[in-house]
A and B are shown apart, each in its own frame.
Chain A
Amino acid sequence: MGENKSDVLQGTLDLMVLKTLESMGPLHGYGIARRIEQVSGNTLALNQGTIYPALLRLEQRGWIKSEWGTSETNRRAKFYSLRRLGRKQLETETRNWERIAATMARFLAPSE
């Protein structure tokens, strides 16, 4: 693993998954993992496997749902999509994150 990659922050993976599903529509686990890697520009040390417990957690909470379907290459895969409750959760989480990020940014800004 490269030294310059950072670990995925606890809890942020859920938010990334939700956001990915919002912007991409129904997607399988591999697709979600690849999308997160691409968006982060390969700066994240993400084991693709960790996506699955996260997906299960979101499904247990009723935020996303899953069903079997076929991929663009005609392979059987499980597709996840956002539910209404998940959409609402994404909004709250996003607001939260923005607030924290802003606070952290102010905190870390070089003092004048």
Chain B
Amino acid sequence: MEWVRILLSRCAALFRRHRLDEDLDDELRSHIELAVEENRARGMNEQEARTAALRAFGGLTQTKEIYRVQRGLPFLEQMGRDLRFGYRQLRRSPGFAITAILTLALGVGANTAVFSLINGLLLRPLPVPHAEELTLLQWSWSRDRGPNYSFSAPMFRALEKRHEVFQSVAGFSSNVFLVRSGSGNVEMPAALVSGQFFQAMETSPLLGRCLTPQDDQPGGGSTGFAVVISEGLWQAWFNRAPDVVGRRLYIANAPFTVVGVIPKHFNGADPTRRPDIYAPLWAEPVVNAPGSNIAEGYHMHWLRVIARRNPDVSLEQANAALRAATNPILDESIPDAKWIRDARSRHFQLAAEPGSNGYSYLRSAFVKPLVAVFSLCAAMLLLACLNLASLLMARSAARERELATRLAMGATRIRLIQQLMVESLLIALLGTAAGLITVPIVSRALAAFVLGNNRSATLDTALDLRAFAFVALTACVVIAAIGLIPALRATSKDLNEQIKSGSHAATARERRRLLPRILMGLEVGLALTLVVGAGLLATSLARLYHTGLGFDPKSVVNLGLNMGKQSLDGQPLVQWYQAYDDSLSRLPAVKSVSFAAFPPMSGSLWSGDLGITSSISVGGVYLNRVAPAYFKSMRIPLLSGRDFEWSDTPAASRKIVLSRTAAGRLFPAQSAIGQHVTMDNVSYEVIAVVGDIVYASIREGAHAEAYLPITQSEDHKPSYMAVVRLEGSPVGFAAAARSLAAKMAPEIPTPEIMTMSSDIDASISSERMMAMLAMFFAVCALLVTAIGLYGTLAYATARRTSEIGIRMAMGARRTEVVGLVFRENAWLVAGGSLAGLVVALLASQTLASFLYGTSVRDPWVMLASVLALGTVAGAASLIPAIRAARIDPMAALREE
């Protein structure tokens, strides 16, 4: 207890320093006066009395100093003084300070931004009570590839009934609902959830109630289907009206009753989605009309399953229970005995894994690029630290006499280290703070990159406690790295020895310069590694873009038409498409218009098997359903035959167009035109052969492709994308196309309009993100390394002024001096580059999976990187060398 009282009193004293100082002065003055009075009374004269009083008192100043140390917190006060001193030091060399702070800000900012992404995607638990009890269910063919997280509705229903180890088992699926609003139908992010979903999530509603198993019945509960809405929708659509419960929402033209509002911190079990509406699973056929996943039964795998374990059940126990239940569940949910036999022979197995952070399909796709980018950022931060450590070391080397003198005069080593560390601390704190400011912007931009064309996905990159802990840890590492090594060195013993033995003892200096050289060499090596990595990624990206696409994406826009919920079908709908085609064609700047079910690189595709006879067939042909003029709009060359026409109705014979590769495989010896191919037992006549295009992804290259006409489709209410080639100014096109759609089909939601180029960019978003970041970091690394090389050499040369002066006085020519100084860095850069090249060769292997058409040992990239680094390093080293050669020998010698 006593120490608390002392600490409090000392802390309080910190804030009243001036008052207390005056108080002490008064007290000591009164002491002396009392003593003088007494001495006078004993008969001394004024002068004698005062001298005697002061002698008896002892040192007045020492007393005050001891008193102050006893009174306040000397450590803190000293720290304050050191901070002010450090600040002045930094102010004196603003160039150094700005470089230091900016490079650190870059390192810390980039690391934190990427960490916040990783945090949002992989680490943050769902905001629900006892998230650790949540369990994600999966199944696998045990000897086959990895786990599968999609379940069919029958299998989920069989799982849902089992409560041996789970309190509740919930299925969910992200969806987009078509909701009727005042101004027509709008698309809205939504989720289909099973009856136990909110039970499993232990979510309490803001208003009304959550969905329950009673709501999740065929046809809904007693009053039809119920929905729960998000707080955001409640705010935007209902202006937070308390009577929202009981109101109707029309989803896919069917009535749903709002039964509750969910607070905004809860966003379902997928951290990358923000559903506004939650509807029961059994409403799926209604919202997905005219199709239905439920109707597809055990063939359609579309549900993710998350369960809450009983609190006393471990994950292992849950796994064991699932293993035991695998066979009964198969028997219960699959009506097809052959399928079950097949599944058993392939060791079909249910399993559980930790589910505290929910499920997102983005995870599997982005873990690797994110980890790669994270290591890039870490390398950048390491480089920044190496650079600062080298520069600080060079700076404190310039102060070595001062430090040695202070040591000799009795300053403790700890005290000097403390003072030097405070300066690094200041840089580290300022750099971290500057880096943190940029984090929200950078992480949002990165998230947009990662999400690419997943327009319905979001990623919460907010900085939470975990992110701040990461920043704090980073800052500590940085402080230790940039501060401790230089401080320890600057105050080391052999420095003292050196002063004694004369500051120019050559051997001692050579020894002392080894560590800074190693650090700078490491920095050069690291910079080269970064440059090589960036070079490889950039070359790969450039090759991706220069791959012939087979079509011309420039000036092409796609308009998504959602026709599933309007009233037209069959031929009348085809006629609607034709009419819309005509109206679009008449808009200014429109060159040609067509429709396609799956434009290239839109993220979805359709494939099938084409055959001539039962013996000759080509599997996995990419299929598309297109309207007339598609090849013209996309500028896909029509090699032979004729295009589809609106008159190719179902009454006419079935038509098909093959790509060159498909035609070559099916009809290697003859012309394909006029031949017949079969698919699913239907025969099609080949009417044309067109050029190959890149369909699924640039990475995949050309593939066998075939096209069917939309005029002969048997699908119900098919939705197509309008593919429009524009010419000249596209201004006003979007608005005109939308208003045409609204006029001609008032029930459909506003069409989404995307340019083809942005679709292509989005399809390789992680490659683009990595290449751009890597190039940015590589340029920064080169710059930082150049500054480091320049700075350290400049400091080192300044300390050799007198030596150089002597050399010149003895007849050394200026070119020799330039060579002398330049050589110091030349060796260092050569050594660092060699090491960096070795590391790059080893490390680039990890990039192999991200590279397209580029070898990880591409000699040109290696050569170009070494040249780039060499040029920058040479320029940075030449400046101090030339400056050294301008030294006036007489001035240099006089200075000594």
Contacts and interface: CB of A to CB of B under 8 A. Distances in A.
Interface of A: 28-31, 33-34, 47-50, 52-53, 56-57, 59-62, 71, 73, 75-78
Interface in B95-132: none
B28 A52 contact: yes
Contact of A53 (B26, B35, B67): B67
A47 B186 CA distance: 90
B24 to A, nearest CB: 8
Contacts of A75: 30, 33-34, 37
B57 A48 contact: yes
B9 A60 contact: yes
Contacts of A33: 31
The 10 residue pairs across chains A and B that have the minimum distance between CB atoms: A47-B58, A49-B63, A49-B58, A30-B34, A77-B30, A30-B31, A60-B9, A48-B57, A53-B70, A78-B27
Given A48-B57, A73-B37, A53 B30 contact: no
Interface residues of B, number: 28
22 contacts: A29-B31, A30-B30, A30-B31, A33-B31, A47-B56, A47-B63, A49-B28, A49-B59, A49-B60, A50-B58, A52-B28, A53-B70, A56-B70, A60-B5, A60-B70, A61-B5, A61-B6, A71-B34, A73-B34, A76-B26, A76-B30, A77-B30
A95 B71 CA distance: 29
B27 A53 contact: no
A30 B35 contact: yes
B37 A52 contact: no
Interface in B54-80: 56-60, 62-63, 66-67, 70-71
A77 B34 contact: yes
A28 B38 CA distance: 14
B35 A60 contact: no
B30 to A, nearest CB: 4
Contacts of B50: none
Contacts of B71: 56
A62 B34 contact: no
Contact of B67 (A30, A52, A71, A77): A52
Contacts of B2: 61-62
Contact of B27 (A52, A57, A73): A52
A53 B23 CA distance: 14
Contacts of A31: 34
B27 A29 contact: yes
B6 A49 contact: no
Contacts of B67: 52-53, 56
Contacts of B58: 47-50
Interface of B: 2, 5-6, 9-10, 23-24, 26-28, 30-31, 33-35, 37-38, 56-60, 62-63, 66-67, 70-71
Contacts of B35: 30, 48
A60 B37 contact: no
Nearest to B32: A30
Q: Tell me if B's interface is mostly helix, strand, loop or mixed.
A: helix
A6 B27 CA distance: 27
A30 to B, nearest CB: 4
A65 to B, nearest CB: 12
A47 to B, nearest CB: 3
Contacts of A48: 31, 35, 56-58
A60 B6 contact: yes
Nearest to B62: A49
A48 B36 CA distance: 13
Given A48-B31, A52-B63, 20 more contacts: A28-B30, A28-B31, A29-B27, A30-B34, A30-B35, A33-B31, A47-B56, A47-B57, A47-B63, A49-B60, A52-B27, A56-B70, A60-B10, A60-B70, A61-B6, A75-B37, A76-B26, A77-B31, A77-B34, A78-B26
A67 to B, nearest CB: 11
A33 B24 CA distance: 16
B648 to A, nearest CB: 99
A62 B71 CA distance: 14
Contacts of A78: 23, 26-27, 30
A71 B10 CA distance: 29
Contacts of A73: 34, 37
B63 A62 contact: no
Contacts of B10: 60
Nearest to B60: A49
Nearest to A76: B30
A112 B390 CA distance: 72
B287 to A, nearest CB: 74
B72 to A, nearest CB: 11
A28, A34, A53 — most chain B CB neighbours (10 Å): A53
Nearest to B59: A49
Contacts of A71: 30, 34
A51 B353 CA distance: 71
A78 B20 CA distance: 13
B70 A57 contact: yes
B3 to A, nearest CB: 9
A69 to B, nearest CB: 11
Contacts of B30: 28, 30, 71, 75-78
A56 B20 CA distance: 12
Contacts of A53: 63, 66-67, 70
Nearest to B2: A61
A73 B35 CA distance: 12
Contacts of A47: 56-59, 63
B749 to A, nearest CB: 75
Contacts of A30: 30-31, 34-35
Nearest to B27: A78
B511 to A, nearest CB: 45
A34 B42 CA distance: 14
A93 B660 CA distance: 105
A49 to B, nearest CB: 3
Contacts of A50: 58, 63, 66
Contacts of A34: 38
A31 B34 CA distance: 9
A77 B27 contact: yes
A28 B63 CA distance: 17
B424 to A, nearest CB: 34
A30 B63 CA distance: 14
Nearest to B24: A52
A73 B62 CA distance: 28
Nearest to B69: A53
Contacts of A57: 70
B383 to A, nearest CB: 49
Contacts of B23: 78
Contacts of B24: 52
Nearest to A34: B38
Contact of B57 (A49, A59, A77): A49
Contacts of A62: 2, 5
A49 B56 CA distance: 8
B480 to A, nearest CB: 35
A71 B28 CA distance: 14
Contacts of A76: 26, 30
B73 to A, nearest CB: 12
A97 to B, nearest CB: 19
A31 B35 CA distance: 9
Nearest to A66: B27
B575 to A, nearest CB: 96
A59 B6 CA distance: 9
A31, A49, A53, A73 — most chain B CB neighbours (10 Å): A49
Contacts of B31: 28-30, 33, 48, 77
A61 B57 CA distance: 25
A76 B29 CA distance: 10
Nearest to A62: B5
Contacts of B63: 47, 49-50, 52-53
A62 B3 CA distance: 11
B707 to A, nearest CB: 90
A49 B60 CA distance: 7
Contacts of A29: 27, 31
A59 B23 CA distance: 15
